[in-house]
Structures are given as C-alpha cells and as structure tokens.
Amino acid sequence: MKRFSGAMHVATTRRQHNEKVYETHLLRRSYREDGKVKNETLANLSYLPDETIQVIRESLAGKHHVVAEDTFEIKRSLPHGHAAAIAKMAEKLKLASLLGPPCRERDVIYALIIARVIRPGSKLATSRWFGDTTLGVDLGVVGITTDEIYAAMDWLYERQGAIEATLARRHLHQGTRVLYDLSSSWMEGTHCPLASYGYSRDHKRGKTQIEYGLMTDVDGRPISIEVFSGNTGDPSAFVSAVTMTRDRFGLKEIIMVGDRGMITRARIEAMRGLRGTKWITSLRAPQIQTLMHEGTLQLGLFDETNLAAITHPDYPDERLIACRNPDLARHRAHKREELLVATEKDLERLQGSKRRAKTPIALAVGRVLDRHKMAKHFTVDFQEDTFTFSRDTDSIETEAALDGIYVIRTSVAKEDLDDAKAVEAYKGLSVVERNFRNLKVIDLDLRPIYHWSENRVRAHVFLSMLSLYVTWHMREALAPLLFGDEEIPEREDPVAPASRSGSAHAKDSTKRGPDGETIHSFGTLLAHLGTLTRNTVAFTQGVEIEQLSVPTPLQRRVFELIGSPIPITIGGKSTERKH
C-alpha cells in the first residue's frame, strides 16, 4: 500500500559523456510502500532555465518569492552585528546554563549581561534601548519594566554562589594560584547600608562608596567578586576572600597573590592557621628600609643581577626575593625631582603673596605640600608674616636609595615555584588591575551605582562581573583585530619591564594587522559591528522578510574569529546564514 506524504523536491543528477557533463532536473515526490521509501517522478524540469529551477527548489523548501519591481519598502532597520557577536560568544561559554534553569528571570539577566558589554547604562536606559536593537526583539525583552529587571536581579543574587562555584570548577584546580585585588566605586543616594565614606580610589571627595574584591585565575578570567562596605580595609577583605575561596570552591590548596597593602603581617599571621593556604605579596617601604639598615639588603646584591634571595629572622618559613628594576629607579628619580621642583615653585609663589597672620600662611603651605605629596622632603620655618623652606636632603637620599627596589615575600617552597616564577606571579596582579579598568571605565562603566538595596547593589556588581567574563573571552577571540600584544615575548629577566613583540609595534605604528585589516579598540570594533543591520522588508503583496545588510569584510572576519556564521536572529530561533 502506497502512503504519500505530499512533499516534493527537485532531484538533480549528473552524467558525463565524452568530457561533457549532462544535468537532469526531476520534480519528484517521495512515498512509502511496503515499508520502503520510493520516489515518483512527476515532471522533467531539465529544459527550464537554471534560475527558474532554483526558484522552484527554494519554493519547495519553504521560501517565499515575490517580484521586486519597486514594490517593497524597508520598514525598519535594527543594529544587529554587535549583539549577534556577543550572543554567539555567550552561547559558546554556555552562559545560559551557567546562570541557571530556564525562566523569565534568566532570560532578562542574559539580555542585561549582553547589553552591558555593548552599551553600559542604567537599568532604565537599558530597558528603553532593548527596543532599538535585535537583542531586545529576539530575546523578548522589549518593553520590559524596571520592576521585572529588579526581580531578575534579586533572582541573580540568590544564584551568585552557584554560578561562581561553576566558574571555579571550569578554571581553577587544586594547588592553583588565584589573583585578588580590591577597588571601590562611588554611590549616588544616601540610603544604601553598604555606602560609607572611605579611601576613594576614584578620587571622588564627599561621595560615599562601596568596595569590592575581584578574584581571577592567573590569566585574568573573573571567577568571583565580593562587595564590602565602603570603609572596609584591604586586609580584612582579603582574609574574607581566602576563607570564601577555600570553603565555597572546595580547594584544598591555594596560593593567594595580593599587593602589600592587602596581605599585611597581621593577615599573614591569620593565614598561617589556614591549612593549605600560601601567599605571594611584597614588603612595604618601611620594612625594606629596615632590611637595608640592618645590612640584610645591600645594593651590592644587584651588581650582577636584578634578583637575589635573602633571609631574615622576622620572616620564618618564608622566602624574600629582592628585586631592582633600573628603569623603574630612573623613572621614580625623575618623577620625584619633578614634584620637588613643582613644590618649590608653588612655595616661592606663596612667599611673594601678602598675608597678615601666621596661621593662614601655615595652612597655605600645608596645602601646597599635600598637593604634591612632598611634605616629607621639605623643612619649613615660619616667621611672623613669612616663612622659609629648604629640601630635606637626608629624607630624599633615604628614599632614593630604595628607587626601583621591591621585595617579594612568599610562603611557597622554592621547589614548587622558583625565584623568577615567584616574581612573575606577583607581577600577574597587573591583569586584575586591567580588569578593574575594563570593569569601571573602559568597557562596562560600573560606576556610579544608583541602587540603594544592599542585595541589588551586590547583584549589580556581580552582573557587571559576568559581563566582564564575556568581554574577557571576546577580547581573547578578537585579539588579531585589537590593539594589544598577541605574542608577548618571554622575559629572560623577570624583573625587567615586559617588552612588546614586533607584531604589536607594527599594529601601533600602522594601525593595521598582518593581513591589512584595520586595528580597533574593543569599543570601536563593537560600534562597527553595530552597523550590520537586520532589515524588515515589506512587499506590496503583503509579504515581509527579514534581511541582513551585506556584511563588511571586517564584520565577516569577526564572526570567523568567534567561530560562527553570522546569525540572522539571536538566541537560535532560526537557521543561521553564511554571507
């Protein structure tokens, strides 16, 4: 018994005779008979023009064709390329499954993360922007209210621990090093319990702030972020990070790398009781001066090398690695001289002004010395209506003796990490500092923060970290098109400044890549991707289609580097098209 499905298709066969190829195009219908699939030929299309055969083939595949003789109009064009590229990277990172089970809140957070990579802004501004891009249309968040966004942020806050644990499993392993640093951002408003006055790294006087500690792996991938009150000191935040890292992520052994303001003597004493916890940090200037006064650290150590291991009874079961960077020494000496000269000029100008009382003069001198941070290098003598000043040469010489010198302090055994590797590990903190710049200024514009609910402030910072996670991977994938060094040369001397490769210098000088493509910053590359639009084309017959504009070679190259064809929709709602 025959069973017809009704579906038809065009079958093309080719045969060769006397070096000539003959093509046959047959209109066929498949059917099943006695459990076997057979084909029935309905017509021979071979004598039709090739373009007509192609129209028939596409029509049978479900495509609509209309006569386009001034009978269409473009109803709307939406920026698409940047959102499609970021969404494809998020898909490769399995961001949706990382966030949690499918639900409306997850879809909203997913859209907010991608939006923050493309166009950082307030939640209200972002909700309005969704309607002006294919991101909002395809993810179903056009017209979303701020109440829905806040509900999604509350959902994200509850998921933070599980998400960070998944990131840790992806990128951390037993005995790994993690990088940790602290920063702050100012707040707007007065009702957030976390907002306090403290040392502002943004130099925003009179503004309350929050602090947050960012933890990354050694390559700079964000793993975890924790928010603290704005008056929290670095050391206490660091101890919290140690406990959080070991307990939450189930690591038996970790090596925390932090700067000298964070891993202090008191924090190290507290960490000694934490089994499997080791550290890499550096000494403060007064501690280095003590080593020099006692003769443990001598400039003669650096006659033949820039790196020397030393020991001192104040640091039991630890290694001290003294380093001297001549370039840094020259830079600091030059900078100090500039500040000394600038201070002298301001003081001389102040001497020439007329003041009647001693107190106003003292206050004005104090402001000058504080402005350039040079009070320790000047002696000032006040008279009735004037003052005299001179450089404190002993203070200047004492500081100059330490120019370019720093001392790495670590509890990691030499057989696990030699002296050079320990220095390189400490210098790895620069990737966290770079992440902070991307998080706060360059890419994601974390600051200022307007939320007043404590949990939503934490959710806002965590959402920004997830956007940074996506941005980190985008920058890695698109490195050939971005300013930056893809082939950083290995340093024979770990103390010396990092050198740039020839390809990086060529990028800087020519603004072109090795294949001649234009080199961009991350922001300008996203802006160019945004010019790849998706257009709604309406025909007078009532048919509407979605059509992408023709991508530029650079836009094609971006998707090649991501490893994906250019999708016509975001979120996998339809097939992708190659251009």
Q: Which of 403, 404, 465, 458 is closest to 440 using CA atoms?
A: 465
Q: What letter does residue 193 receive in the DSSP assignment?
A: T
Task: Choose the weakest-confidence range: 116-130, 268-282, 468-482, 562-576.
Answer: 562-576
pLDDT one-digit tens code per residue, 507-539:
778 888 777 788 888 889 999 999 999 999 887
pLDDT average, residue stretch 291-314: 85
Are 319 and 385 within one domain? no
Range of the domain at 428: 175-325+404-474
pLDDT average, residue stretch 46-73: 78
Q: d(Cα 223, Cα 310) in Å, to the nearest integer? A: 34
Are 420 and 393 within one domain? no
More confident residue, 196 or 552: 552
Are 366 and 321 within one domain? no
Tokens of 152: 């999604």
Are 380 and 303 within one domain? no
Indicate whether 107 belongs to any domain.
no
Indicate whether 48 belongs to any domain.
yes
pLDDT score of 99 more than 60: yes
Examine residue 120 and say whether the peptide bond preceding it is cis (omega within 30 degrees of 0). Answer: no
3-state secondary structure (DSSP) of residue 554: helix
User: Given pLDDT bands bounded at 50, 70 and 90, which one contains residue 441?
Assistant: low
Q: d(Cα 335, Cα 424) in Å, to the nearest integer? A: 25
Domain boundary among 21, 37, 65: 65
Q: What pLDDT, on a 0 to 100 scale, did the predictor assign at position 339?
A: 94
Q: d(Cα 474, Cα 151) in Å, to the nearest integer? A: 28
Q: What pLDDT, on a 0 to 100 scale, did the predictor assign at position 578?
A: 38
Indicate whether 255 belongs to any domain.
yes
Tokens of 487: 């082939």
Q: What pLDDT, on a 0 to 100 scale, did the predictor assign at position 41?
A: 85
Distances (CA, A) of 14 to 28, 45, 53, 526: 16, 14, 15, 46
Indicate whether 311 belongs to any domain.
yes
Are 296 and 195 within one domain? yes
Residue type, 26: L
Q: d(Cα 50, Cα 294) in Å, to the nearest integer? A: 92
Domain boundary among 474, 497, 520: 474
Are 321 and 332 within one domain? no
Are 299 and 424 within one domain? yes
Scanning the structure block, which residue is given the tokens 């020099």? 292
Q: How many domains does the chain have?
A: 3
Q: What pLDDT, on a 0 to 100 scale, did the predictor assign at position 237?
A: 62
pLDDT average, residue stretch 112-136: 90
Q: 0.85 exceeded by the pTM?
A: no
Distances (CA, A) of 56 to 48, 53, 59, 61: 10, 5, 5, 9
Alpha carbon dihedral 227, 232, 235, 238, in 10-degree steps, equals -10
pLDDT average, residue stretch 307-325: 89
Percent over 70 (pLDDT), the chain? 84
Specify whether the CB–CB gap between 429 and 303 falls below 8 A.
no
Specify whether the CB–CB gap between 339 and 374 falls below 8 A.
yes
Indicate whether 51 belongs to any domain.
yes
Q: Which of 534, 531, 509 is closest to 519 using CA atoms?
A: 509
pLDDT one-digit tens code per residue, 462-480:
998 999 999 999 999 998 8
Specify whether the CB–CB gap between 118 and 83 falls below 8 A.
yes
Indicate whether 495 belongs to any domain.
no
pLDDT score of 489 more than 70: no
Indicate whether 441 belongs to any domain.
yes
Residues in CB range of 251: below 8 A, 6 or more apart: 168, 172, 174, 176, 245, 276
3-state secondary structure string, 527-540? HHHCCCEEEEEEEC
Residues in CB range of 56: below 8 A, 6 or more apart: 10, 27, 45, 48
Q: What pLDDT, on a 0 to 100 scale, did the predictor assign at position 573?
A: 42
CATH number at residue 299: 3.90.350.10
Domain boundary among 384, 400, 416: 400
Q: d(Cα 240, Cα 536) in Å, to the nearest integer? A: 53
Beta strands in 307-358 (DSSP E): 307-310, 319-324
Distances (CA, A) of 344 to 245, 321, 330, 348, 546: 49, 37, 21, 6, 69
Are 273 and 355 within one domain? no
Q: d(Cα 258, Cα 255) in Å, to the nearest integer? A: 10
Indicate whether 453 belongs to any domain.
yes
More confident residue, 173 or 119: 119
User: Given pLDDT bands bounded at 50, 70 and 90, which one contains residue 577?
Assistant: very low
pLDDT one-digit tens code per residue, 212-263:
878 888 888 889 888 877 666 656 666 766 777 777 777 777 788 877 777 7
Mean pLDDT across the chain: 82
pLDDT score of 83 more than 90: yes
Percent over 90 (pLDDT), the chain? 28
Specify whether the CB–CB gap between 84 and 566 falls below 8 A.
yes
Are 287 and 188 within one domain? yes
For residue 474, count other CB atoms closer than 10 A to its CB: 25
Are 198 and 299 within one domain? yes
Are 370 and 432 within one domain? no
Burial call 391-414: b when 16+ CB within 10 Å, e when fewer: ebeeebebbeebbbbbbbbbbbee
Q: d(Cα 532, Cα 567) in Å, to the nearest integer? A: 11
Tokens of 314: 């104040």
Q: d(Cα 95, Cα 100) in Å, to the nearest integer? A: 9
Residues in CB range of 528: below 8 A, 6 or more apart: 81, 520, 552, 554, 555
Specify whether the CB–CB gap between 469 and 444 falls below 8 A.
no
More confident residue, 450 or 570: 570
pLDDT one-digit tens code per residue, 542-561:
788 888 999 999 999 999 99
Are 292 and 195 within one domain? yes
pLDDT score of 317 more than 80: yes
pLDDT score of 70 more than 60: no
User: Given pLDDT bands bounded at 50, 70 and 90, which one contains residue 333?
Assistant: very high
Tokens of 190: 């007065």
pLDDT one-digit tens code per residue, 25-58:
888 888 888 778 888 888 888 888 888 888 888 8
Burial of 2 (0-12, 13-18, 19+ CB in 10 A): exposed
Q: What pLDDT, on a 0 to 100 scale, did the predictor assign at position 391?
A: 93
Q: d(Cα 361, Cα 157) in Å, to the nearest integer? A: 54
